[in-house]
Amino acid sequence: TKLVLNQALSQWHLFESFKIYSLSVNISANDLLSDDFINYVIDKHLNHSDIKLMLELTESQQTINQDRSIQAIAKFIINDIPISLDDFGKSYSTFDRLDSIAFDEIKIDKDFVSDLDVNLEYQGIVKSTVALARKLNVKVVVEGVETLAVLKKLKALGCHIAQGYYISPPIEGRYLMAWINNYNQQNE
């Protein structure tokens, strides 16, 4: 995780224009059990305060609800590092996590998105998650958007941010600036 964080921060420093975007880095709940890791991330954030770092947290409910993990999350939040609740709706990502973690965004898992344009059950899940996020005053990110029809449906349901192959496949950091420029030109 440290290596990924370092590489991501290095990429963000290559182009000044990246700094208007948030930089999300995935962490696991096991990462939260290491004081060394927690302090490392905080130090990196303090040394790169011009970068809007967000940590995407995924893991089991059992690990998340441990006092040590909650304390680690509190340290991040105190140091202005927001938390994203990743893969919301999957396995252990349940509502009881919502009152134990102060988070800034919910990421709806891609399993609820693939055929969202025709699946009424998934539409209901996404719609209720968006409504919940509004009540909690947090953003909604939807993973796994692979078609224009799904993207349009997500917009209609009020989602804030989408990611997936329809928008872009994963790309190396060195190609990110060119992708951003191309995307902005197409959407002007």
What is the per-residue pLDDT across 113-125, written as a single tens digit (0 to 9) for each?
888 999 999 999 9
Phi, psi of 104 (to 5 degrees): -110, -15
pTM for this entry: 0.85
Taking the C-alpha atoms of residue 60 and residue 30, their distance in angstroms, rounded to an integer, is 10
d(CA 89, CA 109): 6
- The DSSP symbol for 82 reads -
Confirm if 145 and 151 have CB atoms less than 8 A apart.
Answer: yes
Helix (H) or strand (E) holding 63, with range, is helix 61-64
144 touches 109 (CB < 8 A): yes
Give Cα separations from 149 to 53, 58, 153 (angstroms). Answer: 31, 28, 6
pLDDT in tens, 130-173: 998 888 898 999 999 999 999 999 999 989 799 999 999 998 88
**23: region left, alpha or beta (phi > 0 left; psi from -120 to 50 alpha):** beta
Residue pLDDT, tens place only, 35-88: 999 999 999 999 999 999 999 987 555 555 567 888 898 899 999 999 998 887
C-alpha 112/C-alpha 143 separation (Å) is 9
- The Cβ-side half-sphere exposure at 180, using a 13 Å CA radius, reads 14
